[in-house]
Amino acid sequence: MYSSRSSSPAVPGAGDFQLDGWAVSSKANGFLTGLTRWWGSKRVATTADFDSMAWDLLSGKGEASGVALAASLLAAYRALPRVEQRRFFGLLATRFGPDLQIVQSAIADFLQTPDSTAATRLHVLAEPRRQELIRRMNLAPHGTSQLVAMREDLLMAMAEDPSLIAVDADFRHLFASWFNRGFLELQRIDWSTPAHILEKIIRYEAVHAITSWDDLRLRLEPLDRRCFAFFHPALTGEPLIFVEVALTTTVPTAIAPLLSSARVPVQPERATTAVFYSISNCQRGLRGISFGNSLIKQVAEDLKRELPSLGTFVTLSPLPGFRRWLETRRGDDPSSEASLALAEMRQAGWHRTPSHELRDELSRAAVRYLFEAKDASGKPIDSVARFHLGNGARLERLNWMGDGSDNGLRQAAGFMVNYLYDLAAVERNHEAFANHDEIVASPEMQRLERTLLRHPKEEKRLGR
């Protein structure tokens, strides 16, 4: 992630030197000398020079010098050992927040004269100074890619220091603007796409691993397969998110037949269903910045224009948190239904010949997980369910042994889920979910909820 460089670095001037291909101004000299001392004597370098560089960058003493200083600042950060990065983020947190005294004065002015002018002044003064610092660091060549990489480091640092959450909030605020839909470019990925991008598709695939170039070819080359990705002009050749699509004549219940090399391809003009079977975010530094909603809707609309025969847009999705959630329900009672189910599942090959009791118990638990397992905000704890329901999809069907792979069994006890995207209803479904925490479900799933949860004595096994 740190390989981004200017193709023609600035020529160093008097008192400047080179660092990994970058022209580093003399203002960075003290900080980098401190880093050299750290490597030589294992002492922690001070951040005084870094602090000075950041304030100089904020002072805005000319665009040309600002670009050079931004590049120097980012180069200095890149030279930091990982253990020292937290000191940098701590500097952002403590030295570059809002000036609270000025904010307090602006609040008093607003309360005295509550008009739009005072409100605008308060808004401007309440902005943390690190937001402007991040904007100015973005002036550097390849600044955006380096800031995305920096946030990836920040997310790791936050795991040990939650106080950095305010710094992350500023990164997220800026990235939400820089990476909004208006700046994104939708591109189709096919077998003729440049190899360096195809390599990244293999590397970033997060749902169903691509095991070889032949495997990738099976997902891209056949006429009934599609892949689309969002790109951003500031991250050349780097996909942000991509979706893999299968064109079929039915709604699938399992992933293996969909990816089988022995399957018979469907002629695109005969396809009635577009199946989104894998959606992968590519940039860890953009975690929490939503692209998937726009991607799925855009792809669905484009496919509908290309192939008018398509009438159904549906996912075949994992249930990644189910097995972990089931473990939490075991409790201390070894005779509980959850404990007995988990005990049977620890036997090798349990999924090949499960007992009727196990299948019933797991089915009931999966339905409960989808409808009732909520976080503190009242939304489903399952990240995939939360994503699709939040996008306006409908919970369509639960599929027993939809994914019998090791990963599918380990994460979801083999279950997969179909979420239906009815383009005419997605906005209405989204509003119901966002405003009322309503899980819009198909009649089949509503029946399962009533049968398996509300009337357990009348439960029936899933037909699939």
Domain boundaries, the chain: 17-178, 182-315, 318-458
Which two structure tokens, joined as six digits, stand for 20?
Answer: 């990994």
**Which parts of 196-271 are beta strand (E)?**
225-231, 239-248
Nearest to 222 by CA among 286, 268, 178: 268
Nearest to 79 by CA among 105, 56, 45: 45
Nearest to 258 by CA among 304, 225, 306: 225
What residue type is assigned to position 283 of the chain?
A: Q
List the chain pLDDT tens, one digit each, 464 residues.
333 333 333 333 333 333 333 333 444 444 444 433 333 333 334 467 788 888 989 987 656 688 989 999 999 999 888 888 888 999 999 999 999 999 999 999 999 999 999 999 999 999 999 999 999 999 999 999 999 999 999 999 999 999 999 999 999 999 999 999 999 999 999 999 999 999 999 999 999 999 999 999 999 999 999 999 999 999 999 999 999 999 999 999 999 999 999 999 999 999 999 999 999 999 999 999 988 888 999 999 999 999 999 999 999 999 999 999 998 887 655 656 677 788 888 888 899 988 888 998 899 999 999 999 999 999 999 999 999 999 999 999 999 999 999 999 999 999 999 999 999 999 999 999 999 999 999 999 999 998 877 655 444 443 33
Task: Tell me how crowded residue 326 is: count the other CB atoms within 10 A of its CB.
Answer: 22
Instruction: Name, in order, each residue with C-beta under 8 angstroms of 228's C-beta and a sequence gap of 6 or more.
Output: 186, 187, 188, 189, 242, 243, 245, 295, 298, 299, 302
Cα dist from 72 to 48, 55, 360, whole Å = 15, 13, 62
What pLDDT shows up at residue 5?
33
Instruction: Name, in order, each residue with C-beta under 8 angstroms of 234's C-beta and a sequence gap of 6 or more.
Output: 144, 145, 178
For residues 417 and 319, the answer to whether their CB atoms sit within 8 Å is yes
pTM as predicted? 0.83
Give the CATH fold of the 17-178 domain.
Butyryl-CoA Dehydrogenase, subunit A; domain 3 (1.20.140)
Which two structure tokens, joined as six digits, stand for 443?
Answer: 């009649």
The dihedral region occupied by 263, where left means phi > 0, alpha psi between -120 and 50, and beta the remainder, is beta
What pLDDT shows up at residue 117?
96
Q: Which CATH number fits domain 182-315: 3.40.50.300, 3.40.630.10, 3.40.630.180, 3.40.50.12780?
A: 3.40.630.180
DSSP bridge partners of 47: none
- C-alpha to C-alpha distance for 136 and 71, rounded to whole angstroms: 10
The DSSP letter of residue 449 is I
Say if 182-315 and 318-458 have the same CATH topology. Answer: yes
Which two structure tokens, joined as six digits, stand for 180?
Answer: 């909004």
What pLDDT shows up at residue 461?
42
Reply yes or no on domain 318-458 having CATH 3.40.630.150: yes
